[in-house]
Amino acid sequence: MSGAEGIPLAKPELGEREEELVLEVLRSGRLSLGPVQERFERAFAEWLGAPDAVAVSSGTAALHLGVRRLGWGEGDEVVTTPFSFVASANCLLYEGATPVFADIDPVTLNLDPAAARAAVGERTAGLLPVHIFGYPAALPELTDLAEARGLGILEDACQAPGAVDADGVPVGARGNLACFAFYANKQLTTGEGGVLVPRSADEAAIARSERNQGRALDMDWLDHDRLGFNYRMTELQAAIGVAQLERADELLAQRARVAALYAEALGELGGVPAAPGADLDGLVLPCANRGRERRSWFVYPVRLPLGADRDAVIATLAERGIAAKAYLPCIHLMPHYRERFNFRGGEFPVAEEVAERSLALPFFPAMTEEQVARVSEALAEALAGSWT
Ligand SMILES: *Cc1c(COP(=O)(O)O)cnc(C)c1O
C-alpha cells in the first residue's frame, strides 16, 4: 500500500471464514428463517454471557422491540442522553413515548446519573442509557435510581459489545433488556443487524414473534396473533455474524491496539485523556478505564482544542486523503427534535460543547502504526492552521 492511499473512517474485517459461511448459506438455498440465525443467537448469547439473544434486522429494530417489551408508550417519559446516535431516541417516538434528555458526564460522555435523577418526574417510566463510544454507562447508579423510583431500563449497547461495567459485569448482561447492533462500522458486523437481549423466556418468545409479523412460533405462516413487524435477520447476515463471533475477542483486541497507538501519537501532540480535573480546553482524548470499567473500542473520537475550526480541520485532513467526521451531533438539536419539542440549544451545555468539538478519526482493526502516525501528523498540521 502506498503512503498516499486514502485512509477511511471505518473498515470491516471480513475474511475467508465469512466467505465460507455465506457461501454455505447461498448453496443451501435457505436464505431466511433458517438454522444459521439460531446458531448466531446461541453463539452471541454464549459470548456475552446472557441466557438468550434475539437476532433482528438492525440495532434500531432491537431498540424498538425493547421499548415495546417495557410497555413504554403514550404519556410515558423516558430519561435518556442527548449525546448519542439518533436511533436511541427515535425508538421512543415510534411508540409515542417522550424522550426526556439529561446532560452527560464530561469525562465518560455518558448520561450523568445526577442529571438523570433530576430529570425523573411523575411521568417517568424508565431510563435509556447508551454506552457511548463503547465506554460503559454508570449502570450501578442508574440501577439504584431505577429501583428507587420503579423504572424500567433499556440499555443501548450498540457501540459496546465486550465492554464491562463498574461492577465487573459485561455490558448487556446485567439482566436488563439490552440492544446490540451490527452495521458495517460496528465492532462486530453482519452488514445490517441487531440483537435484543431479553430478560426472560417469555420476553424472548414475544420478541421472536414480533420480529416475524406477530406470528407465534407454533402457528402457520399466515396466522398472526399479535401486531408484528418484519425485523427478521437473513441467514446471510447471520452467517457473517457467526464468523465474526468466532474471532470477536481478537477483533476487539485489534481495536484496542489501534487506540493505544493513537493515545501515544496524540499524547505527543499534547492530547490529554479526559479525566476529572484534567484540562479539557486543549486536545482531549477518550477517557481511560476507571476501576473495573472497560471500554470496548468503537471509534476514536477526540475533542479539538477550544477555538479550533473543526470544518477547516476536516477539510485539511480530506486534502491528505484522511476521512474524519464531526461526531456526534446532539439529538435534541436535530431539526425533527427541535421542531417537535421546541429545543433551542443551551439546555444541555456539556453535551452541546462536546458535540461542537468532537471529531472521529479513522479507526478500524487493521489500521497500521504508519497510518495512525499519518493521521496524527496531519491532525497536528491541520490544527496549526485552523484557528478562527
Ligand atoms: C449503531 C447504533 C444504533 C443502531 O443502529 P442500526 O444502524 O439500526 O443498526 C443504535 N444506537 C447507537 C448508539 C448506535 O451506535
Q: Which candidate, 11, 53, 20, 1, places its Cα nearest to that of 254?
A: 11
Q: Which residues contact 133 (CB under 8 A, 6 or more apart)?
A: 109, 159, 286, 295, 298, 299, 301
User: How many whole angstroms separate alpha carbon 25 and alpha carbon 260?
Assistant: 38
* pLDDT value for 89: 98
Ligand 1 centre from 160 Cα, in Å? 11
Establish whether residue 102 lines the binding site of ligand 1, counting it when its CB lies within 6 angstroms of any ligand atom: no
Ligand 1 centre from 278 Cα, in Å? 30
Establish whether residue 159 lines the binding site of ligand 1, counting it when its CB lies within 6 angstroms of any ligand atom: yes
Q: Which candidate, 87, 117, 86, places its Cα nearest to that of 102?
A: 117
Residue with cell 417522550: 98
- Convert 39-67 to b/e letters by CB count within 10 Å (16 or more is b): bbbebbbebbebebbbbbbbbbbbbbbbb
Establish whether residue 155 lines the binding site of ligand 1, counting it when its CB lies within 6 angstroms of any ligand atom: no
Give the chain's domains with CATH numbers: 16-247 (3.40.640.10), 249-384 (3.90.1150.10)
* pLDDT value for 221: 65
Ligand 1 centre from 111 Cα, in Å? 17
CA dihedral 331, 337, 341, 343 (to 10 degrees): 60
Atom of ligand 1 nearest to the CA of 159: 15
Residue 191 corresponds to which amino acid?
G
Measured at the alpha carbon of residue 344, what is the angle toward residues 343 and 348, in degrees to the nearest 5?
A: 80
Establish whether residue 85 lines the binding site of ligand 1, counting it when its CB lies within 6 angstroms of any ligand atom: yes
Establish whether residue 83 lines the binding site of ligand 1, counting it when its CB lies within 6 angstroms of any ligand atom: no
DSSP string, 230-243: B-PPBHHHHHHHHH
**pLDDT by residue for the chain (388 residues), tens digit each?**
444 689 999 999 999 999 999 999 999 999 999 999 999 999 999 999 999 999 999 999 999 999 999 999 999 999 999 999 999 999 999 999 999 999 999 999 999 999 999 999 999 999 999 999 999 999 999 999 999 999 999 999 999 999 999 999 999 999 999 999 999 999 999 999 999 999 999 999 999 999 999 998 776 666 778 999 999 999 999 999 999 999 999 999 999 999 999 999 999 999 999 999 999 999 999 999 999 999 999 999 999 999 999 999 999 999 999 999 999 999 999 999 999 999 999 999 999 999 999 999 999 999 999 999 999 999 999 999 875 5
Q: Which residues contact 202 (CB under 8 A, 6 or more apart)?
A: none
Residue 214 corresponds to which amino acid?
G
Catalytic residue among 39, 64, 68, 186, which?
Answer: 186
- Going by their DSSP bridges, the two strands 272-273 and 124-128 should be labelled as unpaired
Q: Is 11 a catalytic residue?
A: no
Atom of ligand 1 nearest to the CA of 186: 1
C-alpha cell, 80? 435518556
User: How many whole angstroms separate alpha carbon 233 and alpha carbon 37?
Assistant: 7
Q: Where are the alpha helices (DSSP H) in the chain?
A: 16-28, 35-48, 59-70, 87-94, 113-119, 139-149, 201-211, 235-246, 248-268, 310-319, 335-341, 349-357, 369-384
Cis-peptide into 70, omega within 30 deg: no
Residue 278: enclosing H or E segment and its boundaries? none
The model carries a pTM of 0.97
Burial of residue 14, with CB atoms counted within 10 A of its CB: 0-12 exposed, 13-18 middle, 19 or more buried: middle
User: How many whole angstroms separate alpha carbon 319 and alpha carbon 310?
Assistant: 14
* pLDDT value for 131: 98
Atom of ligand 1 nearest to the CA of 61: 8
- Going by their DSSP bridges, the two strands 325-326 and 358-361 should be labelled as antiparallel
Atom of ligand 1 nearest to the CA of 182: 9
